[in-house]
Amino acid sequence: MFKRILIANRGEIACRIIKTARRMGIETVAVYSEADRDALHVEMADEAVLIGPPAAAESYLAMEKIIDACRKTGAQAVHPGYGFLSEREAFPRALSQAGIVFIGPNAKAIAAMGDKIESKKAAAKAHVSTVPGFLGVIEDAKHAVKIADGIGYPVMIKASAGGGGKGMRIANSTNEVAEGFGLAKAEAKASFGDDRVFIEKFIVDPRHIEIQVLGDKHGNVIHLGERECSIQRRNQKVVEEAPSPLLDETTRRHMGEQAIALAKAVNYDSAGTVEFVAGQDKSFYFLEMNTRLQVEHPVTELVTGIDLVEQMIRVAAGEKLSIAQKAVTLTGWAVESRVYAEDPFRNFLPSIGRLVKYCPPHESSADGITVRNDTGVQEGGEISIYYDPMIAKLVTHAPSRAAAIEAQATALDFFYIDGIRHNIPFLSALMLHPRWREGKLSTGFIAEEFPKGFAVRNPEGEIARRLAAVAAAVDHVLGERKRQISGQLTGRLVQRERRRSVWLDRTEIALDIARDTDGIVVRFVGADGALGNPHVLVSPWKPGDPVWHGTIDGRLVAMQVRPIPNGIRLAHQGYEVAINVFTEFEAGAARLMPVGAKADTGKKLLCPMPGLVVSIAVAEGQEVKAGETLAVVEAMKMQNVLRAERDATVKKIHATPGATLAVDALILEFA
C-alpha cells in the first residue's frame, strides 16, 4: 500500500479523498493555485505545493507541475478526482514514465472510453445499443448544420472530452446548431483543452441513469447498481439518487450486465461510470463512459456501504477486488443535492465572494437516517470566479425514498450560507415538489416545472402560519432577553402585550403569543377575533443563532434566520420572506408608511453575475430584435449569452471584451 499520495485536484473532491486516505493511514499531498492558497483542502492535507496562477491551464491542468510536486514530496501515486486531468489519457502515461502510479484506469481504457466519440465506437463493437449520431470530425458550423439536418432535430452538441455539462448544447433548429457549435467548442477548449465535439440525436423526455462499475488489475469487474441523475439544469446534474425509482430488478440486471461487458472489453481497472439515456418505458441506450470517480458517487457509497475512493486506491496498489457481484446489495435510499454558488432568483447565474457565514447541517447517523456533507469550503473562504461553483454535496440516506427526501428537505433547512447567493431555496422547493416525490422524472424536469425560472414565492396557508409563528417566537425570545439587561431603572414591571401583527412582507397575520414553561404558545386570531387552537413551539434558539430549530406541535422544523432592519428574514422549504413582528399599535402606524418603488432598469443591460466579457455582439446605434445576442460573459468556465429582451436601439456601450465586471455592472444602454 502507498505511504503517500498526491491529489491532483481541489475543492470538495480533494477533501473527500483526503478523508479516506487519512482513515487508511496514507499521507496526503495537496496542490493548489494562487487562488486556492487558503483553501480547505490545503489545510487538511499533510503537505501542500503551490503549482501556479489561478487559471486552471497554468495550474491544475499543468501535468509537469504536478509530476514535479510528486518528486518534491515523495508521493508514490496520484488521485485525479474528477474534472481537470482525470480523463486525460496523457496524464497516466506521463505519471508512469515518471515512476508514479495513477489512481484510476489504465491509459488505454481512458483512450477507448474516456473520449466520448471513441467510447461510442467501442460500445458499438461490443453490441451495446447507442443513440444515433455522428462520431466523425466536424469541420465547421456549416458541416455541423448539415449533420444535424440529417439526424433530425432536436440534436445534442457535446464535447468529446467533456463532462459536467461543459461544452454541451441542445439545438432545435439550424440557427441553434450554428450558434451552439461555436459555444460548445469554446467551452470545451476552456474546460478540457480539447475543442472536439460530436452531434447525436437528443432523446425526448429521457431519463439519465448510470451504472457504477468497479474493476481491478486482475480482470475482475463488478457493478454497484444505478444512480438516477435526471434532475438537471443546463445539462448540469443538480440532484441525484440511488437507486432509480424507474428501474425494476430485471432492468437493473440488464443494464449492469451491459456495463460490465463494456468495461471488460477495454480491460477497465478502476472505478468508472457507464451512463445510459433511458426512456420512460425502461428502454435504454449507451450514452458515454466516465473513466473517473463521479461527483455523485456518495449516493452509491451509502446504499452499498462501499467506499469507492478506498477501492480505487487498493486497486491501483495492485490488490484484487474483495467484493463479489453476488455480495453487492442495495440497502435503503440515498439522495444528493448539489449546493452551488449561484442565484436561483436571477436565472441561476454564478455568484462569487466570501463566505461570511457557512454553517452546514451536522453530519450524523442515527435512527436509520444518515446526513453527510461533502464540502471543500469553510467559513471565511472565498468562492472564486476561476473554478466550478460547487460549494457542497449534501447527501441523506434512509430506509425508503420518501424518508430520504424528507431528511434531505430538513437538512437543507438547516444549511445556512451568507456572503454569496446560493441555490438552497431552489433545492428546498424541489424536495417538496409533488412530481419529484412521485418519481416521475426526466432530464427536462426543471425546464418543464420551472419554465420561467425560479422566482420569489409568497407563502400562503399553513406554510405562512408556520413562518409567522416562528417569527413571533423569535421576537418573543429577543424581547425576553432585552428585559434581562442589567442596570435598568427600577419601577413597575414591564407587561408585554400578547397580541401581535406579523407581516410577511405586506401580508398580515394576527396572533396571540405567550411563554409556557419551556415552550412558546401561539394562537392565531380568526376573522371574527376569536383565538384558534394553541400551537406549541419548543426550541433552544437564542439570539445570534443562524438557524431556528425545534418542534411545532411535536414536528421537527428548521428555518434559517437573518436579521434585517426592524425585523428578520426567514428561509424555509424554498421560501424566503422578510418578516416584521408588530404590536397592534405599531402595525397601525406601519400601515400608514408609503411603499418604495423599484428603480427602472429596463433601458440598461446589466451584467447578471461577476464575469469576464468575452465579446460584445452589437455596436452603438445598431437596432436589435428581441432574442438577438448582445454580449457573451464567461464565469466559472461557462459562457453565458446575454440577449435582447425586446426590440431596441443600442445607445451606448460601456464594457469592452476582456473586461472583468461585477454583478449589475453596466454593459450597455438602449435609446
Separation of alpha carbons 313 and 304, rounded Å: 18
Catalytic residue among 118, 187, 210, 288: 288
pLDDT in tens, 8-30: 999 999 999 999 999 999 999 99
The mean predicted confidence, pLDDT, of the chain is: 93
pLDDT of residue 599: 62
Instruction: Provide the pLDDT confidence category of residue 259 given band limits of 50, 70 and 90.
Output: very high
Residue 524 to residue 633: CA distance in whole angstroms:
50
Residue 495's pLDDT is: 67
pLDDT digits (tens, 9 = 90+) for 472-504: 999 999 998 888 788 777 777 666 789 999 999
Cell readout for 116 is: 466520448
Which three three-digit cell numbers place residue 383? Answer: 468562492
The stretch 47-68 carries a mean pLDDT of 97
Cα–Cα distance measured from residue 294 to residue 315, given in angstroms and rounded to the nearest whole number = 17
On the question of pLDDT at 285 being above 70, the answer is: yes
Amino acid 17: pLDDT: 98
In this prediction, residues 580-589 reach a mean pLDDT of 93
Domains and CATH numbers, the chain: 4-103 (3.40.50.20), 132-201 (3.30.1490.20), 207-449 (3.30.470.20), 461-483+496-590 (3.30.700.30), 604-670 (2.40.50.100)
pLDDT at 636 over 80: no
How do beta strands 575-582 and 499-504 pair?
A: antiparallel
What contacts 24+ positions apart, CB below 8 Å, involve 533-540? 535/469, 537/469, 537/470, 537/473, 539/473
Q: Examine residue 563 and say whether the peptide bond preceding it is cis (omega within 30 degrees of 0).
A: no
pLDDT at residue 126, as a whole number? 83
pLDDT of residue 448: 94
What's the whole-number mean pLDDT along residues 46-62? Answer: 96
* Backbone φ and ψ of 73, nearest 5°: -105, -10
Question: What is the average per-residue pLDDT within 598-607?
Answer: 77
CB 275 within 8 A of CB 284: no
pLDDT score of 610 more than 70: yes
pLDDT in tens, 338-348: 999 999 988 88
pTM value? 0.84
Maximal C-alpha separation, the chain = 91
Confidence class for position 600, pLDDT limits 50, 70, 90: low
**SS3 readout for 530-584:** CECCCEEEECCCCCCCCEEEEEECCEEEEEEEEEECCEEEEEECCEEEEEEEECH
Residue 115, pLDDT score: 72
pLDDT in tens, 291-329: 999 999 999 999 999 999 999 999 999 999 999 999 999
Whether 288 is catalytic is yes
Q: Are residues 560 and 546 in contact, defined by beta-carbon separation less than 8 angstroms?
A: yes
pLDDT confidence of residue 113: 85
**So what's the pLDDT on residue 540?**
96
Q: Using an 8 Å Cβ cutoff, are 184 and 167 in contact?
A: yes
Could you tell me if 519 and 509 are in contact, meaning their C-beta atoms sit under 8 angstroms apart?
A: no
b/e burial code for range 294-333 (CB count within 10 A of at least 16 → b): bbbbbbbbbbbebbbbbbbbbbbbeeebebeeeebebebb
> Any idea which of 38-42, 44-48, 285-289, 399-403 has the lowest mean pLDDT?
285-289
CB 622 within 8 A of CB 662: no
Whether 53 has a pLDDT exceeding 70, the answer reads yes
For the segment 394-421, the average pLDDT, to the nearest whole number, is 97
Residue 602 pLDDT > 80: no
Buried b (16+ CB within 10 A) or exposed e, 436-460: bbeeebbbebbeeebeeebeeeebe
Phi, psi of 311 (to 5 degrees): -65, -40
- What beta strand segments (E) does 333-471 contain? 333-340, 342-343, 349-350, 353-354, 357-359, 364-366, 369-375, 382-383, 390-398, 416-418
Terminal-residue alpha carbon distance, the chain: 69
pLDDT (tens digit, 9 = 90+) per residue, 84-142? Answer: 999 999 999 999 999 999 999 999 999 988 777 777 888 888 888 788 788 787 989 99
Question: Rounded to an integer, what distance in angstroms lies between the CA atom of residue 542 and that of residue 545?
Answer: 6
Percent with pLDDT over 90 in the chain:
74
Is residue 67 pLDDT above 70, yes or no? Answer: yes
Half-sphere exposure (Cβ direction) of 466: Cα atoms closer than 13 Å: 22
How far apart (Å, rounded) are the C-alpha atoms in residues 8 and 87? 12
- Mean pLDDT over 277-283 rounds to 91
Q: Is the pLDDT of residue 251 over 70?
A: yes
**Residue whose C-alpha is closest to residue 335's, from 362, 306, 302:** 302
User: Which residue would you say has higher pLDDT here, 634 or 470?
Assistant: 470
The answer on pLDDT for 595 being more than 90 is no
Q: What is the pLDDT of residue 598?
A: 62
State pLDDT tens for residues 186-232: 988 888 888 888 998 888 789 999 999 999 999 999 999 999 999 99
Least trusted range by pLDDT, from 127-131, 575-579, 621-625: 127-131
pLDDT for the residue 485: 80
Question: Which pLDDT value is given to residue 221?
Answer: 97
Predicted pLDDT at 494: 63
Residue 41 confidence (pLDDT) above 70: yes
Question: Rounded CA gap, 20 and 28, in Å?
Answer: 10
Peptide bond before residue 243 is cis, with ω within 30 degrees of 0: yes
Closest CA to 77 of 96, 103, 97: 103
Q: Alpha-carbon distance 13 to 244, whole Å?
A: 24
